[in-house]
Amino acid sequence: MIQIRGLTKTFGKLRVLDDLHIDIAEARVTAILGPNGSGKTTLIKSILGMVVPDRGDVLIDGSSVRGQWAYRRNISYMSQIANFPANLRVREVIDMIREIRRQPAPYMDDIVQRLGVEQFWNKQMQHLSGGMRQKVNVLLTFMFDTPIYILDEPTTGLDPLALMHLKELIVRKKAQGKTILVTSHIMGFVEEMAQHIAFLVDGRLYFDGSLEELKRRTGTDTLEQSIAEIIKRNYAAV
């Protein structure tokens, strides 16, 4: 259980998160949606302690993450941009993260095989394509067995086969009762994967509920239409 409590963050004059409260429950996939610049990535980075919030707190299983580091043992994070140290080889990045985390990586061999990572196992990161890098990102995220998975735009650059594997991995983690947090602009992906939607507009929580509820509330048939409807209403309000 992740609880966001009154999280506020400004970058310069821009208020990216504005007194945000969300509860993110276990054993389901929660999608954080919102237009560009609505604070999704900042929220995720605050949970990870990469961004230091101005006010408010993030509680994981009841305890604050402020100034803490050991709790990150329980989180697997897939970053939005698969940037890795350019002159390291895939193998070395994997070894490094394993050595730092000192956790068993029970799913490593399976994922390496499925995604075909062994083909570029010994290549330097700078020589990999965007899609290959994203595969390494998937591997790094899903090879550990952690209670929380945070995926920031996980579909970017993946080919259809890899995307299928990613979806399988997410479904399996959900079945194992993990807390899964995902952001994406691909509505089809969200509709297929997520059970719960948190919609952010200008760093505030605009909607928090199930997928069905969202559709009912906006009177639309698909998630894409609902989201379009919300954004339209917001612009109309302004």
Partner 1 sequence: MQLYKIVRYVIRDLLRSRWTYVYFAFYYLLGMVLLFINRDLSKAIITLMNIITILTPLIGTVFGVMYYYNSREFIQLLLAQPLRRNALFSGQYIGVSLSLSLSLILGLGIPFSMYGVLYSGVIWDFAVLLVIGGFLTFIFVGLALVVALANDNRIKGFGYAIFLWLAFAVVYDGLFLLGLLYFRDYPLEKFALGGVLVNPIDLSRILILLKLDIAALMGFTGAVFKKVFGTSMGMVMAFGALLLWVWIPWQLMLWFARRKDF
With binding defined as CB under 8 A, does residue 75 bind partner 1?
yes
With binding defined as CB under 8 A, does residue 2 bind partner 1?
no
Residues touching partner 1: how many (CB under 8 A)?
27
What does the DSSP assignment read for 80-114?
SS----TTSBHHHHHHHHHHHH----TTHHHHHHH
With binding defined as CB under 8 A, does residue 100 bind partner 1?
yes
With binding defined as CB under 8 A, does residue 91 bind partner 1?
no
With binding defined as CB under 8 A, does residue 45 bind partner 1?
yes
CB of 157 to partner 1, least distance (A): 16
Q: Which of 69, 175, 221, 236 binds partner 1 (CB under 8 A)?
A: 69
DSSP annotation of 158 reads -
Q: Which of 6, 61, 64, 85 binds partner 1 (CB under 8 A)?
A: 85
With binding defined as CB under 8 A, does residue 12 bind partner 1?
no
Q: Report how far Cα 233 is from the mean position of its chain's Cα atoms.
A: 26
CB 152 within 8 A of CB 140: no
CB of 208 to partner 1, least distance (A): 25
* Choices 67-75, 110-118, 199-207, 210-218; region in contact with partner 1 by CB under 8 A: 67-75
Instruction: Name every residue whose Cβ is closer than 8 Å to that of residue 6 and which is 6 or more positions away in sequence.
Output: 19, 20, 21, 55, 56, 57
* Choices 41-49, 114-122, 173-181, 229-237; region in contact with partner 1 by CB under 8 A: 41-49
With binding defined as CB under 8 A, does residue 127 bind partner 1?
no
Which of 101, 44, 53 lies closest to 78, judged by CA?
44
With binding defined as CB under 8 A, does residue 66 bind partner 1?
no
Please name the helix (run of DSSP H) or strand (run of DSSP E) that holds residue 134, with its range, or none: helix 130-142
Q: Which of 30, 38, 41, 79 binds partner 1 (CB under 8 A)?
A: 79
Q: Which of 62, 87, 160, 237 binds partner 1 (CB under 8 A)?
A: 87
With binding defined as CB under 8 A, does residue 96 bind partner 1?
yes
Which of 118, 120, 114 lies closest to 142, judged by CA?
114
CB 58 within 8 A of CB 64: yes
With binding defined as CB under 8 A, does residue 86 bind partner 1?
yes
- 48's tokens: 């990870």
Please name the helix (run of DSSP H) or strand (run of DSSP E) that holds residue 77, with its range, or none: strand 75-78
Q: Report how far Cα 15 is from the mean position of its chain's Cα atoms.
A: 21
DSSP annotation of 79 reads -
For binding to partner 1 (CB under 8 A), which residues are involved? 11, 45, 48-52, 69-73, 75, 77, 79, 83-88, 93, 96-97, 99-101
